[in-house]
Amino acid sequence: MKAKTLIALAVMFCQSALAQEAPRSFSSMQKSLQPDKIITYKTIGDRELTLHLFFPEGFKAPDSRPAFVAIHGGGCVSGTPRRFYPYANALVEKGYVGISVEYRLVDAKKGITVFDCVKDGRAAIRYIRANAKEFGIDPNRVAVCGGSAGGHVAAGTALFEGIDHADEDTSVSCRPDALVLLFPVIDTSAKGYGMKRLGKEWARISPVEQIKAGAPPTLIFHGDADKTTPYAGAKLFTERMHEAGNVCELITHPGGGHGHINNDMKLFDDAIRRTEAFLEKHLGE
């Protein structure tokens, strides 16, 4: 065999080995994961909004499994369901049906605001619960997870009563049975994030201002060095949840910036373990 051919084969072997040994990362999971099914949950004008579903092994439609619904971040101006595929898929091997939600993004030209993002999130949970039998889901074990702006939308499914599409069947509850918030937009005041975009109605759509008794058990992950969604907001939210008699746990990462979990797979895996334990405790059987 010629020397050039041997060298070429050696290079190919090395490249293949490096590819196999490439470190696991959040971005690699975003790219590689593929949902088992994509369905439309809401049509607004000519826009179809979708749910991206991940089913556990042995899944059958008659099942009654817990659901873990993931809502991506991006400041409500960017992102797709794929961004949160790693979270939607994270508990599938534990028997959950994972779902990543598509919602409209803020677009001044089209008149789409943050209120519309929230309306879409609430509509998604209603659709999941109304069609739980079709998805093999227990409608009383629906957990909603959101990161950053997606955390705001997730909190809105529980707290922003009345911010709904006009054609929604509000007899179906959009209140999740548990919330998991990752470095969320939780305070939209001048001390937090989003007041400029929301204007005079900021308090109506600020989670820390809308807490009431009966909110779902909530788990929050936040870094205390987060300069995008200040940590003080997560602390205030937790305090007010306790004052209202609600369950709320705040997991603090010292020195963690915005999106810290997504940048370190050890933190990601730890967050998933903690989430699983929290949901096992609060969703029940």
Ordered by where they begin, the domains of the chain are 40-283 (3.40.50.1820)
Task: Report pTM.
Answer: 0.90
pLDDT at residue 14 in the model: 45
Measure the CA–CA gap between 254 and 256, rounded to whole angstroms.
5
Q: Count the Cβ atoms, other than its own, within 10 Å of residue 33.
A: 17
Helix, strand, coil in percent for the chain, rounding step 5: 40, 20, 35
CA angle 37, 41, 45 (to 5 degrees): 125
Measure the CA–CA gap between 241 and 248, rounded to whole angstroms.
6
Measure the CA–CA gap between 208 and 186, rounded to whole angstroms.
6
pLDDT at residue 138 in the model: 97
pLDDT at residue 191 in the model: 92
pLDDT at residue 22 in the model: 64
Measure the CA–CA gap between 51 and 210, rounded to whole angstroms.
27
pLDDT at residue 199 in the model: 81
pLDDT at residue 135 in the model: 93
Q: What is the mean pLDDT of each run of 10 residues along the chain (285 residues)?
A: 48 47 86 97 96 94 93 95 98 97 96 96 98 95 98 98 96 98 96 86 94 97 96 98 98 96 96 98 84
pLDDT at residue 18 in the model: 42
